[in-house]
Structure 1
Amino acid sequence: MKKVAVIQDMSSFGKCSLTAAIPVLSVMGVQAVPLPTAILTAQTDYPSFYCEDLTSKMDYFVEEWSKLGATFDGIHTGFVTGREQIDNLFQFLNVFHSSETTLLVDPVMGDRGEGYKIFTGGLLDRMKELVKCADIITPNVTECCLLTGLSYEKLQSYQSTPDYIHALEEAGQQLQHTTGANVIITGLNPPSAIPNKRYVGNMYVDANHSFHSLLDYNGENYSGTGDLFASVIMGGHMRGQDLAKSMQLAETFLAAAIEATSKKQIPSEAGVNFEQFLRMLL
């Protein structure tokens, strides 16, 4: 069985990070080996939460896993609490990342044009270095803008879908060229020529080509969807699936989960009811 080290936080409420990655990888036939970067009572969009930062404990995982002679087929990084944790990630990679190990970096820093509460310039600088080590990068549109210098405001000002797509494609190609990684940009939200019609989508960029897909958008933005998406990408890659097909599978899985969640009027911070749709990933 393939093993993936999943280096993310564990939030009790919000269906994100480790509580999203572990079931997805498991149902896709991959052993998820968690390294929690923080323990939270609830993800950070909740009005109140407690966070126990585990930066000082990460070295123990490296030390103890080294004693076990552990090796990993994949390493999947997500939410980190700051620059120091990324420094610890580099130490982890020095021990466990080899040419036989796929590194997927989900550069969690912000969404909807704004950085998360943990965002700093120091975090961005180190994240730019981390993505250079990656084989696969899964930024959302905001994170792609942060990593490439594309103006989020200018991107949102485009009046036509082709102009929006072209600008984002150029940014994705820039990021791919800088890192050498395959890039999947999530959360595209281009303008629509049809009144009251909105779309959401994803874009795939590798060294040779790029393409995007768009789906109807209900206007909701649920916690954990990016984590679920990235986990499907990693799970698919571990079982030898083409990244483009994994992207399509992730879209189908999430579309079903989001539709069911919306019908039940679940608060966005609570995440999507994905559990009943895990069978789609078998």
Structure 2
Amino acid sequence: MVEFFQDFRTPDGLIFVDPAMADGGKLYAALGPDFPQAMARVCAQADILVPNLTEACLLTGTPYDPAPCPQYMEDLLKKLLDLGCRQVLLTGAEVRPGEVGVLGLDQTGRSFSYGLPRLPQSYHGTGDLFASACVGGLMNGLNLERSARIAARFVSASISATAVNPDASWYGVEFEGQIPTLLSLLDQARQLAGPV
């Protein structure tokens, strides 16, 4: 992947990396202990890097803290930038007490955070869903912060919709019914100058 990114990078291209390899303090069982170091080399090529807390810790060699303080997360964001990526979003982060969302930082030092009330439910695939919706915002000409806000709202709406469905599958979030919400958020963001 590193060679691919180096060979095919273009000035107007975007390399968006979600290092989907871990969660809950643990590397996925199918991956070996050397995988995070190899993934860090891939992440160094990213314009935008989007790990969760566990992935961020593994990429930077930081001991995992399931209840990190703000300084810990700020230091973690800086370590992720030190890998070489231009911008980083830490997903699933506790933004404020009772709020989960995303923390962002870029190489210029510009930072942002966006949180929504923590939901009691947890489903597989929400990180993938966030990354997909965020890329959708970027491809619609929105900046990273606006795209991340939209993605967070879409994921939250999808989790809420899944939670109230008595027939919901145990293996993933039901996002399909929330696609109109995503499209509406994207449309609003393109039309309005203010925050989504």
Q: Which of the five TM-score ranges fits, normalised by the shorter chain?
A: 0.7 to 0.9
Distance in 2 (CA, whole Å) between partners of 1:157 and 1:199 is 13
Q: Which position in structure 1 is the counterpart of 2:92?
A: 187
Q: Give the CA RMSD over aligned residues.
A: 2.0
Which structure has greater strand proportion? 1
Written as runs of structure 1 = structure 2, the 5 A alignment for 1:95-114 is 95-114=7-26
CA distance in structure 2 between the aligned counterparts of 1:219 and 1:142, rounded to whole angstroms: 19
Residue identity matched to 1:177: D
Residue 136 of structure 2: SS of its match in structure 1? Answer: helix
Which residue matches 1:273? 174
Shift of residue 135, structure 1, vs aligned partner = 0.3
Runs of at least 4 residues off by over 4 Å: none
Give the corresponding residue for 2:120. Answer: 219
Residue by residue, what CA displacement relative to the aligned partner does 1:108-138 show, whole Å, maximum 9, x if unpaired?
A: 1100101111222321121110011110100
Pick aligned residue for 2:74 from 148, 151, 169: 169
Aligned to 2:83, the other structure's residue is in SS state helix
Higher relative CO (Cα under 8 Å, sequence separation at least 6) belongs to: 1
- Which residue of structure 2 lines up, in the alignment, with residue 28 of structure 1? none
**Is residue 111 of structure 2 the alignment partner of residue 201 of structure 1?**
no
Distance in 1, Cα, partners of 2:150 & 2:67: 31
The 5-angstrom pairing of residues 1-282 of structure 1 reads 89-152=1-64, 155-156=65-66, 164-189=69-94, 192=97, 198-207=98-107, 208-265=109-166, 266-269=168-171, 271-282=172-183
Change beyond 3 A, Cα 1:94–1:211:
closer
Q: CA deviation at 1:94?
A: 4.7
**Aligned residues, how many?**
181
* Identity %, equivalent residues: 34
Q: Which amino acid aligns with 1:244?
A: E
Once the 2 structures are TM-superposed, how far is the Cα of residue 178 of structure 1 from its aligned partner?
2.8
Higher CA-based Rg: 1
Check conservation: 1:258, 1:273, Cα contact below 8 A: yes
TM-score, L = length of structure 2:
0.83
Contact 2:49 2:85 (8 Å CA) reproduced:
no
In structure 2, distance between residues paired with 1:178 and 1:170: 13
What CA distance in whole angstroms lies between the structure 2 residues aligned with 1:97 and 1:213? 30
Change (3 A) 1:175 1:233: same
Query: Contact between 1:220 and 1:268, CA under 8 Å: does it hold in 2?
Result: no
Question: Which segments of 5 or more consecutive residues in structure 2 lack a partner in the other structure?
Answer: 184-196
User: For residues 66-90 of structure 1, what are the alpha-carbon distances to aligned partners after superposition, in whole Å with 9 as ceiling and x for unaligned?
Assistant: xxxxxxxxxxxxxxxxxxxxxxx23
TM-score (normalised: structure 1): 0.59
